[in-house]
């Protein structure tokens, strides 16, 4: 357990640097100054009024949009918009919560900025980042759920594109469910103590919110309170922890499934492999404890027994445990041993599959592992035995079938032996081979060549990082198609001449 404890201590939650601190500011009934009567000022004033602010616009003239805003009562009951038909003065900024300016030139911007600073009011000068203490981001509004996106002013179009994507992910009905959660929160807190019971209630609530396309009806609140009462009276055993084996994929966080992200967001503890990328871990719940339990060939690592015992101990303590494995947990991930151990201990366990490295490799290369003209099947084979040599219980004669694509996992150290054995079993020395390391990551590297030169290929790629070795004629199918296409173009050009 010494190794496990050391890795625990060496693996704190990691937080990437932030360009700006995202803050949600309560403005209900607060006074906000807007200097300027342009369309840009109108947009900011409308946004502030939607938050319940008392907006005061200082400008001699108003654009049509600004005039329309000042002429109508805002929908928010605490909001108001009032037009002062004159230019702003420094005294106008006193006791304001925020100051927004639309200034024509740098001198005016500097004057407005200095005046706001002097009165202690946070200030934003529209489209002049040097005179802004805070920024407005792109907004997804499901109030009381509000999502704000910032690119630190670098790419507003990118922020808008991100907003559009989030809009498609969050159902419109979420607004109603969030409002219901807000209304029920105090009553649920009275009925359920902090811990597994309260957590179980809110997780079921969230599942209903995201699975429903309709705004909750009035009766739903009463039904949920009855559910809270039922949970309070349920046996404690019902709320023991559970373990979820989650496939982290080969490294690119965008290859995670939605179910995997949800599991990471619900975890109390995450036991992660050494190969899991930082980008994937960034998607986990901030409060989750993260513990590195990785196993790497040739390196000091945690034993499988330690990992099994830790999962049981944490689950019996009522924790939701995610066992985060690189690739797919059911392919060379020793998931079978972990599931069997958890079953013996009576711990609930489920599995979230991931993108295995071979599939990611095929997509990166744009090749089919089972191209109908070249391969009728595909095999995934471990590249070494428990003792470090070639796997002993493999039928190498069948592996050498030229109509099969074979992908060797963890075969970096045995690559030369693999090539020699396949050639000895009758596979052509010219059979195409691709060696790829760090599949789907920015550090990805690959080598291509014939089977007989695999020794040279692995020497170039190395095996300090995870390595895949793919063997089969289908690996050259795309290059052959491109060559044939180019030849056809040349023939057509010659005919035209």
Which residues form the catalytic set? 273, 295
CA distance 185 to 111: 46
Whether residue 54 contacts residue 33, with contact meaning beta carbons closer than 8 Å, is answered with: no
Bridging pattern class, strands 377-382 and 404-409? parallel
Whether residue 245 contacts residue 353, with contact meaning beta carbons closer than 8 Å, is answered with: no
Chain mean position to CA 35:
40
CA distance 174 to 124: 31
Q: Which residues, listed in sequence order, are joined to residue 437 by a DSSP beta bridge? A: 445, 467
């Amino acid at each position: 357990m010494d190794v496990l404890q050391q890795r625990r201590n060496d693996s704190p939650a990691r937080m990437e640097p932030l360009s700006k601190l995202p803050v949600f500011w309560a403005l209900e009934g607060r006074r906000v100054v807007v200097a300027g009567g342009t369309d840009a000022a109108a947009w900011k004033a409308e946004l502030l009024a939607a938050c319940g602010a008392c907006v005061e616009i200082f400008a001699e003239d108003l654009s049509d949009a600004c005039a329309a805003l000042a002429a109508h009562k805002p929908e928010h009951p605490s909001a108001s918009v009032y037009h002062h038909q004159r230019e702003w003065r420094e005294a106008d900024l006193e006791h304001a919560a925020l100051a927004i300016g639309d200034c024509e030139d740098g001198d005016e911007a500097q004057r407005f900025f200095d005046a706001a600073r002097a009165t202690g009011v946070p200030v934003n000068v529209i489209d002049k980042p040097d005179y802004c203490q805070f920024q407005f981001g792109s907004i997804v509004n499901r109030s009381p759920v509000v999502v704000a996106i910032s690119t630190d002013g670098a790419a507003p179009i990118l922020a808008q594109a991100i907003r559009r994507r989030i809009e498609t992910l969050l159902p419109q009905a979420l607004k109603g469910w969030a409002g219901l959660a807000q209304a029920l929160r105090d009553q649920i807190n009275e009925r359920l103590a902090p811990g597994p019971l309260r957590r179980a209630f809110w997780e079921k609530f969230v599942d209903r919110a995201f699975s429903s396309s309709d705004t909750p009806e009035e009766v739903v609140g009463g039904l949920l309170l009855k559910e809270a009462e039922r949970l309070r009276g349920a046996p404690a055993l019902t709320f023991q922890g559970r373990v979820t084996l989650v496939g982290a994929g080969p490294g690119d966080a965008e290859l995670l499934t939605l179910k995997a992200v949800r599991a990471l967001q619900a975890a109390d503890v995450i036991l992660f492999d050494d190969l899991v990328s930082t980008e994937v871990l960034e998607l986990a719940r901030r409060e989750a404890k993260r513990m590195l339990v990785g196993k790497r060939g040739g390196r000091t690592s945690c034993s499988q027994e330690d990992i099994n015992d830790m999962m049981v101990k944490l689950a019996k303590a009522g924790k939701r445990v995610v066992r985060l494995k690189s690739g797919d947990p059911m392919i060379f991930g020793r998931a079978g041993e972990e599931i069997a151990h958890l079953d013996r201990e009576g711990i609930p366990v489920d599995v979230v599959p991931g993108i295995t490295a071979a599939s990611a490799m095929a997509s990166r290369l744009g090749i089919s592992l089972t191209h109908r003209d070249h391969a009728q099947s595909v095999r995934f084979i471990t590249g070494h035995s428990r003792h470090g040599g070639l796997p002993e219980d493999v039928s190498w004669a069948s592996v050498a079938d030229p109509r099969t694509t074979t992908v060797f996992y963890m075969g970096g150290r045995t690559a030369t032996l693999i090539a020699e054995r396949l050639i000895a079993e009758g596979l052509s020395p010219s059979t195409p081979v691709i060696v790829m390391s760090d599949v789907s990551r920015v550090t990805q590297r690959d080598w291509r060549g014939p089977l007989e030169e695999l020794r040279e290929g692995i020497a170039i790629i190395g095996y300090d990082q995870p390595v895949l070795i793919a063997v089969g004629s289908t690996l050259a199918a795309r290059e052959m198609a491109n060559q044939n296409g180019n030849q056809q173009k040349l023939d057509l050009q010659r005919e035209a001449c």
